[in-house]
Chain A
Amino acid sequence: MRKIANIFWLGIKELRSFMHDYVLLGLVIYAFSLAVISQAQSNSQELHNASIGIVDEDHSELSHRIEHAFLPPYFQLPHQIAERDIVPLMNSGRYTFVVDIPPNFQRDVLGGRQPAIQIDVDATAMVQAGLGSGYAQQIITTEITDFLSHSEGAPLSPVNLDVRIAFNPNITTAWFTSVMGIINNVTMLAIILAGAAIIREREHGTMDHLLVMPLTPFEIAMSKVWANGLVITIAVGLSLYIVVRTFLGIPIAGSIPLFIVGVMIYLFFATAIGIFLGTVARSMPQLGLLYMLVYMPMNMLSGSNTPLESMPAWLATVMQASPSTHFVSFAQSILYRGAGIDVVWPQFAFVALIGGLFFGLAILRFRSVAAQTV
């Protein structure tokens, strides 16, 4: 009972301190509103506004039809360029795609001579190049088929493929980046808030004070976990309901309460690692530098930015040990695919386990912290 009372009252103190730290408060608000919105509206995951140039050496009806088929929002309106400019313009990165329609293209198509039309793709612009080349092929094929069907009519294929995208039928970037933005910020802020809370106590000398009171390191650490976790949980909830659902108008398929439970479990891990780093670092700047080295890989490789499958196998295996990977995975299951607790419970359990490990380590280090002179 005493333990719980101590944890509760220390946590209340923590919340009051947080409310007075306007910089951190501002950071939390920014991270869950503006930062999420700017990522959601970036269209970075889909083919969007790709720059395209057209070398039209045919000047026929068909070549014009092809030119006018490249439309926003997928492509910018195509620019007419000369053949000799292809290389310099692509070198400078001005165009990601250049379509080269050879002379007599329409005549050769109608004559069944199977002329070649060329699409140059800047293969260093990975996302756009990969998606765009497929789109461009489709657009050109469709235009040619339509053009021909006027004269002879297109035959139906013997076998047809119907591809349906589950959970995000229109493949909208914002559905993905908004929620992933929130997830990345959860990791970022939980580590900063908990770590900074420890360092702040050490710098102000109040940590010594706490340690000579009848309090155990477990109680001190636990109070920071719940208080900082609560702040972020509330921020996540508000961000999901207000920013993502209302402001950005993104439908969320799954159960937000279940997701919030997952967030809480993950926060236990993230705040625990923050506390652990707070006991390792001797000053705020050191905490910051350590944080960069821990947070960046955890975030960039969690699957929230690029697909986990594309990593080398050894790295993907290593990242399976990181709770951030499981967090991203269960967040996607719950929020996009509407998965229930029956599907995600093993991941919940794993995150809690690793969280407990770091929490234990942090508590073990607590005493030695006091031994370090400031």
Chain B
Amino acid sequence: MTGRERSVARIEDVTQRYGETVALDAVTIELPVGCMVGFIGPDGVGKSTLLSIIAGARQVQSGNVIVLNGEMKDQAHRSAICPRIAYMPQGLGKNLYPDLSVRENIEFFARLFGQSKSERNWRISELLQSTGLAPFSDRPAKKLSGGMRQKLGLCCSLIHDPDLLILDEPTTGVDPLSRRQFWELIDRMRSRRPGMSVVVATAYMEEAERFDWLAAMNAGKVLATGSPAELKASTGSATVEDAFIGLLPEQQRRGHHRLQIPPRRILDTEPVISARQLTCRFGDFTAVDRVNFTIEQGEIFGFVGSNGSGKTTTMKMLTGLLPPSEGEALLFGQPLDASDMRSRYRVGYMSQSFSLYTELTVEQNLDLHARLFHLSAQKAKARISDLIERFDLEEYLSQGTLDLPLGIRQRLSLAVAIIHEPELLILDEPTSGVDPLARDRFWELLIELSRDQEVTIFVSTHFMNEAERCDRISLMDSGRVLATDTPANLIKARGVATLEDAFISYLEEATGLRASGTKDPAPSGETPNPVRSPTPKQSLFSLQRLFAYTIRETLELLRDPIRLGFALFGTALLMLVFGFGISTDVNNLSFAVLDRDQSHESRAYLEELRGSTYFVEKAPLATYADLDKRLKSGDLKAAIEIPPGFGRDIKRGRPAWVSAWVDGAMPFRAETIRGYLQGMHQLYLTDPAVKTTMPAAAPPADIEVRFKYNQDFDSIYAMVPSSMSMLLALFPAILMALAIVREKELGSITNLYVTPVTRIEFLIGKQLPYIAVAMVNFSLMFFMALFVFEVPFKGSFPTLLLGVLIYVTTTTAYGMLISAFTRTQIAALFGTAILTVLPATQFAGLMTPVSSLSGMAQIMGRAFPMTYFVPISIGTFTKGLGFTDLSTNLAELAVFIPVLTLLSLLLLRKQER
């Protein structure tokens, strides 16, 4: 970085819209270089959008964004500076890979930035040392605590020594001790690299006090900028939180006043909840460990702790959703009974995700819950209108809940939870992500419920200022209650100034008691400032980056037993089913006879039929009605009627007639039966053994039908190679589509947006492991064909192998293409299934050659790779063909690879919209 730069990023008049929502509204702001810049404001005001634009992860819709002296709309500039930027998106470790270990995660990022092995190892060990993650380098990321995951995210971001570090809400949901350690770590990193600029977004206003420069945001606009001191001075407030409230537009602030909590009237009743030694285990993991507490009537009782500390699990046990592994819980003085319907009328519950039906409107949500609690029509009406008024929901009544601002949604959720006037209210993190004003309003409602109506409220939170509003709180960490008392007493007991300090002091005591290894080692003797590697050259294509994705994808697949099991054995299982089950050999056909002649001649005729291996005779028919009924029920596939006088006609030399009825429900079977019957009839006529008629004259010509390739005309020789083709179309495509969409859904796609990896490296890197899986599938099925189905292999194996390789490349590419249109894994799965199953089973030559199809079916068949692979599979297996015979098919199949890859490439975006 040169000294000439004054600002690290300049944003001019940027507006971003998503549908009708305006995320950023003509924002203009300049971020000073070399300092810690903080964006403050509640969820959904545009902080994340702004940060992702600065990081280059999101496309700029209108306006100019200049980062590190260049226009971010310029693709060349973006790829030039991306090695200088590090971006940690919102959500705990969202760009990390949960199944990979700490070390593997960092290695993946190091490879993306083109670091050599020695440089990589040296950097990783240095980062692990300084963050204190070294003892856990082999632990999978998903098993890390929130605080440790954040540190890992930081390691991954710092692996390439960025000049600009962008952190989007890095500490949300993390316990106060880890939070404090995280900021100390950032400070240390900055002191070692003084030129580094850090841009942070946060919802914790207390944290913002320590930043150098702040930008307060609301509703897509920047309200004010300046140092924390300046902001506080300009609004005359004592804290940043108050300053933020002071900066909000007048209209929004109206009616807001400092929250007053009237003292609680102590009632002399039995406790509403008492938990005794409550424990919950999932396998060998103890989520809640011997928890004890009691909650009195009318009390506001708080559970305070980080994500994953056991708050939700405890609440689930108290609502009867989860059976406790040990211990007991008393509700209203009675042991908790999950099947007791009466107690459910006395409890209201609001789960973490607000538990509303997002597809319903506000009114429909209220109405549904009133009905489910069986409020009488009159009472429901009164209750709903009362709640609408008290919760200010009037203007949103007919809106879908999905479009509501978070604060409104939360209020509605509370209204829904109390519609039946419960005595006890259990609220799981009811205020996360909501702005301070809405939070205060929400608390006003809670206080009113508690103080005026003596409703007992059990609430969980990770905000310290909310914890302070509770009558009593339990501090939770790793499934254990560290302490329970009033907030004031807790502060007093530890002899500290704030509740946060008290919590930290309890945490330190607890972590000290636990294995000492989990404690952060103070970064001992800073390594001398390392030589910075030269900024890696930006190449257009790098095998190292491609393999970074291949290695990662392979590791992930190997560690996901469900996906792996499905990938390896799903095909084998279905192969077994299809190989045995799908057959076009028509036999075991049931038939019955209505012999109304009962003569020697009629029996001679029927003898021919009875001797056939295709037919199985059922009990004879007595009447036409019988014939009709049994054909209708499907009991018979064919019925033969020999009329009276059959024998007499033959004897007299008059042409005799036999009638046959064939069940036409299944056209193919009917055609085949007709063929069999006619064949048998011909045989009868020319059979020298049949003495009842004069043998017919020898036919004028001898028609020889030669079944080539499959003399016995046994469908297994065609169906097994075809089933193999079908399964190799289905499974690789689905797995591939899932693999790409998974990244979109989980958020790790961001790494494609903000690291030097190119789209083609990303796609092919991810495709390789699935091609390998498909080849394993093929070998399994090949051996099944040989040894289970005993279909001999007659042709050239190298040709088949080459064909399979090309084919599975196309089918994975097909999945890749479908993934471009889908956003969620489920859509990818069903999209792929629908777009593959129909053409694969019906239109690609599985049963009927594509050339015989017509209309849309023919077109769908021609556009599907399987159509070109079936001849290769059958050709090598059954027809005994080699490379030259099949070269045309191979070439046609190969054309799909560039076409599908190119289309996927064009549809995949290097930036989020």
Q: Which residues of A contact B (CB under 8 A)?
A: 2, 5-6, 9-10, 12-13, 16-17, 19-21, 23, 27, 30-31, 35, 37-39, 41-51, 76, 88, 90-93, 96, 105, 108-109, 112, 114-131, 133-134, 136-138, 140-141, 144-145, 148, 155-169, 171-173, 175-176, 192, 196, 199, 204-206, 208-209, 211-216, 283-289, 292-293, 296-297, 300-301, 305-307, 309-312, 315, 319, 329, 332-333, 336-339, 343-344, 367, 370-371, 373
Q: Is the interface of A mostly helix, strand, loop or mixed?
A: helix
Q: Which residues of chain A have C-beta atoms less than 8 A from B349's C-beta? A: 208-209, 212
Q: How far is the CA of A161 from the CA of B660 in the complex (A)?
A: 7
Q: How far is the CA of A157 from the CA of B681 in the complex (A)?
A: 11
Q: Which residues of chain A have C-beta atoms less than 8 A from B319's C-beta? A: 208, 211-212
Q: Taking A92-B885, A310-B584 as contacts, is the C-beta distance between A159 and B855 under 8 angstroms?
A: no
Q: How far is the CA of A158 from the CA of B830 in the complex (A)?
A: 60
Q: Which chain A residue has the least Cβ–Cβ distance from B851?
A: A51
Q: How far is the CB of B602 from chain A (nearest CB, A)?
A: 10
Q: How far is the CA of A161 from the CA of B313 in the complex (A)?
A: 77
Contact A212 B632 (CB under 8 A): no
Contact B667 A168 (CB under 8 A): yes
Contact B660 A42 (CB under 8 A): no
Q: Which chain A residue has the least Cβ–Cβ distance from B653?
A: A158
Please provide the chain B residues from 648 to 688 with a CB less than 8 Å away from any CB of chain A in the complex.
Answer: 650, 653, 655-672, 674-675, 677-679, 681, 684-685
From A30, A156, A300, B655 is in contact (CB under 8 Å) with: A156
Contact A293 B670 (CB under 8 A): no
Give the interface centre of A208, A293, A344 by most chain B CB atoms within 10 Å: A208
Q: Taking A38-B857, A159-B693, A213-B344 as contacts, is the C-beta distance between A305 and B582 under 8 angstroms?
A: yes
Considering the complex of A and B, which 6 residue pairs feature the smallest CB-CB distances, nearest first? A168-B664, A288-B829, A123-B710, A42-B857, A284-B826, A205-B353
Q: How far is the CA of A133 from the CA of B678 in the complex (A)?
A: 13
Contact B583 A306 (CB under 8 A): yes
From A13, A96, A312, B360 is in contact (CB under 8 Å) with: A13
Q: Which residues of chain A have C-beta atoms less than 8 A from B679's C-beta? A: 134
Q: How far is the CA of A196 from the CA of B827 in the complex (A)?
A: 11
Q: How far is the CA of A41 from the CA of B824 in the complex (A)?
A: 33
Contact A206 B357 (CB under 8 A): yes
6 A–B contact pairs at CB < 8 A?
A46-B667, A92-B871, A158-B685, A165-B662, A288-B825, A300-B582
Q: Which residues of B contact A (CB under 8 A)?
A: 282, 287, 313, 316, 319-323, 338, 341-342, 344-345, 347, 349, 351-360, 364, 368-369, 371-374, 400, 562-563, 566, 570, 573-574, 577-578, 580-590, 605, 629, 631-634, 637, 650, 653, 655-672, 674-675, 677-679, 681, 684-685, 693-694, 696-711, 713, 715, 717-719, 730, 734, 738, 742, 824-827, 829-830, 833-834, 837-838, 841-843, 845, 847-849, 851-857, 860, 871, 874-875, 878-879, 881, 885-886, 888-889
Q: Taking A42-B848, A124-B718, A206-B357 as contacts, is the C-beta distance between A309 and B587 under 8 angstroms?
A: yes
Q: How far is the CA of A144 from the CA of B697 in the complex (A)?
A: 14
- How many pairs, one residue from A and one from B, have CB atoms within 8 Å of each other in the complex? 432
Q: Taking A43-B852, A301-B581 as contacts, is the C-beta distance between A171 and B670 under 8 angstroms?
A: yes
Contact A88 B885 (CB under 8 A): yes
Q: Which chain A residue has the least Cβ–Cβ distance from B668?
A: A45
Q: How far is the CA of A293 from the CA of B583 in the complex (A)?
A: 20
Q: Which chain B residue has the least Cβ–Cβ distance from A173?
A: B667
Given contacts A176-B667, A211-B320, 4 further A-B contacts (CB under 8 A): A41-B854, A158-B696, A161-B678, A164-B661
From B351, B670, B874, A208 is in contact (CB under 8 Å) with: B351
Contact B658 A123 (CB under 8 A): no
Contact B706 A119 (CB under 8 A): yes
Contact A51 B580 (CB under 8 A): no
Q: Which residues of chain A have C-beta atoms less than 8 A from B354's C-beta? A: 205
Q: How far is the CB of B476 from chain A (nearest CB, A)?
A: 16
From B320, B344, B681, B847, A126 is in contact (CB under 8 Å) with: B847
Q: How far is the CB of B834 from chain A (nearest CB, A)?
A: 7
Q: How far is the CB of B445 from chain A (nearest CB, A)?
A: 19
Contact A287 B372 (CB under 8 A): no
